[in-house]
Amino acid sequence: MVILGVILLVIGLLASISVLTTIGAILIVVGLILNLVPIRGERRLYY
């Protein structure tokens, strides 16, 4: 999810498409939260 966010963010910045930039930033934030916040006491990594 983080990788997809980075790809969309880069494409959005290069093509000047603000929608892709916004979606990419949201995906990066959600992906990092899912990676760093333990759920039910266990760490789960999403790649």
Q: What ranges do the domains of the chain cover? A: 2-36
Work out the percent of the chain whose per-residue pLDDT is above 70: 79
Helix (H, G, I), strand (E, B) or coil at 1: coil
Q: pLDDT band at residue 43, thresholds of 50, 70 and 90? A: low
Q: Do 8 and 24 meet the contact criterion of CB atoms below 8 Å apart? A: yes
User: Mean of the pLDDT values across residues 5-20?
Assistant: 92
Q: Do 27 and 12 meet the contact criterion of CB atoms below 8 Å apart? A: no
- pLDDT (0 to 100) of residue 34: 82
User: Mean of the pLDDT values across residues 2-30?
Assistant: 92
User: Mean of the pLDDT values across residues 9-31?
Assistant: 92
Q: Do 27 and 2 meet the contact criterion of CB atoms below 8 Å apart? A: yes
Q: How far apart are CA 39 and CA 14, in angstroms?
A: 36
pTM: 0.74
